[in-house]
């Protein structure tokens, strides 16, 4: 059971829009923020560490946790590739007197905003265009053409969610996007 003790910052964007970099910036600027590590059923990537980047669990275990209502939100992003936020993760952060920052998929972000209401600021990070987003994803060098096509198709859909968020940061120039996000979060914490 989640008890609403602290505030939540929900940062969402299509893959490659820069949300993770902005989240890292906000974590450095606001010591009262703690990162909510999501759970996933996908395999770790080369540079990912269990418990730091994600809680990696099997598809079967993920489904059991869904059944026992251990997630505040979850989604099957691709077939048998689940992502979700464990209630226990949020309770742990709040028990330390910190606010939670989420780096989640847009649908998960909308669910979190609906769950936490005025206790949450939902921030959408938007790339300047789909073309720029494609360039960024290609520059990562982590995607096959097939997975790149999937991500871009999903990004097009995700961009339609922007109006469901409290505010938007356009990531055309990363340093300016970080400063913009910082100002919006500072204002939210003052309320």
Percentage of the chain modeled with pLDDT above 70:
97
Domain assignments of the chain as residue spans, ordered by start: 8-190
DSSP string, 100-151: EEEEE-HHHHHHHHHHHGGGEEEEEEE-S-HHHHHHHHHHHT---HHHHHHH
Q: What is the pLDDT of residues 37-83, one digit of tens each?
A: 999 999 998 889 999 989 999 999 999 999 999 999 998 988 899 99
Buried b (16+ CB within 10 A) or exposed e, 129-141: eeeebbebbeeee
The CATH code that applies to domain 8-190 is: 3.40.50.300
- Note whether 167 and 174 are within 8 A (CB): no
Instruction: Please give the Cα distance from 172 to 2 (Å, whole number).
Output: 36
Tokens 């490659």 identify what position? Answer: 16
Residue 191 CB partners (closer than 8 Å, separation 6+) = none
Nearest one of 93, 91, 84, 88 to 57, comparing CA atoms: 84
Q: Is the pLDDT of residue 3 over 90?
A: no
Q: Is the pLDDT of residue 1 over 80?
A: no
pTM comes to 0.86
At 43 the three-state DSSP class reads coil
Any alpha helices (H) in the chain, and if so which ranges?
Answer: 19-29, 59-67, 87-95, 106-116, 130-140, 145-158, 174-190
Q: What is the pLDDT of residues 96-130, one digit of tens each?
A: 999 999 998 898 899 999 999 999 999 999 999 88
CB atoms within 10 A of CB 48: 13
């Amino acid at each position: 059971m989640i008890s609403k003790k602290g505030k939540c910052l929900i940062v969402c964007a299509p893959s490659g829009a820069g949300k993770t970099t902005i989240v890292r910036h906000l974590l450095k600027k606001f010591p009262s923020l703690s990162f909510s590590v999501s759970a996933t059923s996908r395999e770790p990537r080369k540079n990912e560490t269990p418990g730091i980047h994600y809680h990696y669990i099997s598809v079967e275990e993920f489904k059991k946790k869904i059944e026992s209502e251990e997630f505040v939100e979850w989604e099957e992003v691709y077939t048998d590739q689940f992502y979700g936020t464990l209630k226990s993760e949020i309770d742990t952060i709040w028990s330390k007197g910190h606010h939670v920052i989420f780096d989640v998929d847009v649908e998960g972000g909308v669910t979190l905003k609906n769950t936490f209401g005025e206790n949450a600021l939902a921030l959408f990070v938007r790339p300047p265009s789909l073309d720029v987003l494609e360039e960024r994803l290609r520059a990562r060098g982590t995607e096959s053409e097939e997975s790149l096509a999937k991500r871009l198709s999903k990004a097009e859909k995700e961009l339609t969610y922007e109006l469901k968020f409290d505010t938007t940061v356009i990531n055309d120039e990363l340093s300016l996007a970080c400063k913009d996000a910082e100002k919006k979060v500072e204002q939210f914490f003052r309320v």
